[in-house]
């Protein structure tokens, strides 16, 4: 059972994370609209402070985080992650093994600027698993931090989960990101990539697979 001190530490880390996310967004918005060059310098300093806070939380180098935060410009908005969940006739779920951490998740990733939600998830399924597919339904729009994904990211993320169905030829998955691909029963899952998917989310996907009329899950 977690101790009171560990609970307080977790709460404190979450408060720091939320402050860092808001500070990063504020600095990006300020840099976008500020006209005075001194204000521009101050917002750049605020961005650096946000990176320092994330470095404390994640043990990642502050310089790397500062570069990551600096890639976005314009008004700060959440990033969009898409995931395609496929089940076979035995209710096994399709998972791919990520090269980055060696763990498993449904095919997916960041939506590209010229993608629609549908084309984004179908592209990810095709590239990462080799399967041609069609979208059955959007079954969940979740917020990454509300869902408890780790490690924390310096930006807010909306996670769009789509129930998909395999329709065509199977091609070799692109090896840049994928180590392996397989179908797994939910009671015998491999180690899941915690920043990408949770077992609870996969079980919720199975609920929608069994009853497509269920309403969309929404944080």
State how far the Cα of 163 lies from the Cα of 88, in Å rounded to an integer: 12
**Burial, 189: exposed, middle or buried (Cβ in 10 Å; 0-12, 13-18, 19+)?**
middle
- To the nearest 10 degrees (0 to 180), the angle between helices 37-58 and 4-33 is 160
State how far the Cα of 109 lies from the Cα of 112, in Å rounded to an integer: 9
Is the whole-model pTM more than 0.85?
A: no
Sign of the torsion formed by the C-alpha atoms of 146, 148, 154 and 156: negative
Give phi and psi for 8, each to the nearest 5: -65, -40
Task: Report the length, in residues, of the chain.
Answer: 219
Q: How far is CA 207 from the centre of its chain?
A: 21
- Indicate the pLDDT class of residue 26, thresholds 50, 70 and 90: confident
Helices (H), the chain: 4-33, 37-58, 62-70, 117-129, 199-210
State how far the Cα of 101 lies from the Cα of 154, in Å rounded to an integer: 19
Mean pLDDT score, 110-114: 91
**Burial, 46: exposed, middle or buried (Cβ in 10 Å; 0-12, 13-18, 19+)?**
middle
| Interval 158-203: pLDDT, tens | 999 999 999 977 777 666 779 999 999 999 999 999 999 999 999 9
So what's the pLDDT on residue 146?
93
């Amino acid at each position: 059972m977690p101790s009171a001190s560990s609970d307080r530490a977790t709460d404190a880390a979450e408060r720091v994370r939320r402050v860092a996310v808001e500070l990063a967004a504020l600095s990006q918005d300020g840099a976008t609209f500020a006209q005075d060059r001194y204000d521009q310098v101050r917002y750049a300093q605020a961005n650096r402070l946000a990176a320092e806070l994330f470095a404390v939380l994640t043990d990642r180098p502050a310089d790397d985080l500062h570069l990551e935060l600096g890639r976005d410009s314009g008004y700060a908005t959440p990033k969009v992650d898409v995931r395609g969940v496929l089940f076979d006739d035995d209710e096994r779920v399709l998972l791919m093994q990520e090269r980055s951490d060696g763990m498993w998740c449904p095919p997916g990733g960041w939506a590209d600027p010229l993608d629609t939600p549908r084309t984004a998830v179908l592209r990810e399924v095709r590239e990462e698993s080799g399967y041609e597919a069609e979208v059955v339904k959007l079954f969940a729009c979740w917020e990454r931090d509300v869902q408890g994904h780790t490690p924390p990211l310096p930006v807010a993320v909306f996670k769009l989960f789509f129930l998909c169905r395999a329709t065509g030829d199977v091609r070799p998955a692109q090896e840049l990101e994928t180590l392996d691909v397989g179908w797994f029963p939910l009671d015998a899952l491999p180690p899941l990539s915690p920043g990408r998917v949770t077992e609870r989310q996969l079980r919720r996907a199975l609920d929608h697979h069994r009853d497509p009329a269920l309403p969309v899950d929404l944080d």
